[in-house]
């Protein structure tokens, strides 16, 4: 008999522990609304429970009322500037999925149906905290299906100039990240990704950029009518002016921690939790996706356990 999933108004009494032996879904559905970083358009997202084996699937409602399902899979990823985007085989695009995917992954949620009425997920304040809080409020329940993980067996590396990203065998998901920014110097973070570590040390870190570059990019998007940084501003990102972030950093070394946030979200497109140690230097979405693709293309480098 299939499990009865609670409604959006009722959370479960028993919440399971992330990282257990069974796959899990949300205990209740939740909805959040906000504007997209690139489109600047308002979107409402409903994230709800899903049955065993469903994985994370985005369901976009189009203007004509049709719906299109897009699984969160590395094979459907499409290159787009400054975000992670998925392209349905039927054509429609869903962009800026990485913060929600990072939060679901860190909280140990394997199955979820993400319904959205626009092209882009909300950016909120540029962090993953709104997603994490909503997921925790909804609760996590195991569905009885065995939870399999990708265990890395040997080192796999990708690089592009000074940008490097490699993964090597390790028990759990450990990240060591480095970033150097003009006027800031070296920024580093290292730790094992657990739900509590992610919520307290990684999720608060916001998308960031140089203020003048962001404003030029926003003007370019407006003039060309392209979906580029139309929702970017001091309320949706950490804006850098020379050697400081306007309003200050929320956490120490905030920019490099946000790179870790994006990395966790991009790794989620592998479809299973990854067990390995990641060493990242100046990484970004393109290198993150290159590593996932390289790992998937080398089946002798990992095993599903």
| Helix, coil or strand: residue 237 | coil
Checking DSSP bridges between strand 238-241 and strand 208-210, what pairing results, if any? parallel
Quick one: which of 281, 265, 272, 259 has its CA closest to 157? Answer: 281
Strands (DSSP E) along 104-139, which ranges? 112-116
Quick one: which of 179, 177, 173, 178 has its CA closest to 197? Answer: 173
Strands (DSSP E) along the chain, which ranges? 22-26, 30-35, 42-48, 56-61, 67-71, 77-80, 83-87, 93-95, 112-116, 140-146, 150-152, 156-160, 163-168, 173-181, 185-192, 208-210, 238-241, 244-245, 274-281, 302-304
Burial 282-297 (b: 16+ CB within 10 A, else e): bbbbebbbbbbbbbbe
Q: Work out the number of other CB atoms within 10 angstroms of the CB of residue 101.
A: 26
Catalytic residue among 38, 258, 272, 285: 285
Q: Is 54 a catalytic residue?
A: no
Quick one: which of 221, 241, 224, 223 has its CA closest to 232? Answer: 221
Q: How far apart are CA 204 and CA 126, in angstroms?
A: 9
| Max Cα distance, the chain (Å) | 60
Owner of token pair 């899990």: 24
Q: How far apart are CA 153 and CA 270, in angstroms?
A: 16
Where in the sequence numbering do the catalytic residues fall? Answer: 285
């Amino acid at each position: 008999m299939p499990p009865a999933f609670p409604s959006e108004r009722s959370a479960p009494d028993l919440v399971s522990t992330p990282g257990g032996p069974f796959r899990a879904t949300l205990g209740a559905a939740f909805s959040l609304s906000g504007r997209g970083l690139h489109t600047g358009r308002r979107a409402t997202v409903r994230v709800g429970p899903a049955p065993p084996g469903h994985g994370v699937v985005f369901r976009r409602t189009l203007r004509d009322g049709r719906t299109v399902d897009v699984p969160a899979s590395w094979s459907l990823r499409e290159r787009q500037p400054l975000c992670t985007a998925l392209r349905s085989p039927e054509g429609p695009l869903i962009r800026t999925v990485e913060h929600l995917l990072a939060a679901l992954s860190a909280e140990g949620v394997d199955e979820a149906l993400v319904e959205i009425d626009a092209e882009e997920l909300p950016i909120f304040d540029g962090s993953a905290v709104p997603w994490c809080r909503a997921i925790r409020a909804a609760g996590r329940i195991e569905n009885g299906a065995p939870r399999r993980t990708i265990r890395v067996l040997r080192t796999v590396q990708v690089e592009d100039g000074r940008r490097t990203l490699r993964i090597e065998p390790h028990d759990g998901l450990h990240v060591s990240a480095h970033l150097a920014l003009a006027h800031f110097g070296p920024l580093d973070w290292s730790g094992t990704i657990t739900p509590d570590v992610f919520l307290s040390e990684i999720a608060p870190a916001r998308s960031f950029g140089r203020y003048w570059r962001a404003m030029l990019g926003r003007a370019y998007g407006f003039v060309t009518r392209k979906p580029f940084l139309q929702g970017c501003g001091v309320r949706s990102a950490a804006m850098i002016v020379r050697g400081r972030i306007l309003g200050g950093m929320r956490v120490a070394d905030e920019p490099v921690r946000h790179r870790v946030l994006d990395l966790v979200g991009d790794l989620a497109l592998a479809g299973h939790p990854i067990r390995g140690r990641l060493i990242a230097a100046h990484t970004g979405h393109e290198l993150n996706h290159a590593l996932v693709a390289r790992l998937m293309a080398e089946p002798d480098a990992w095993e599903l356990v």
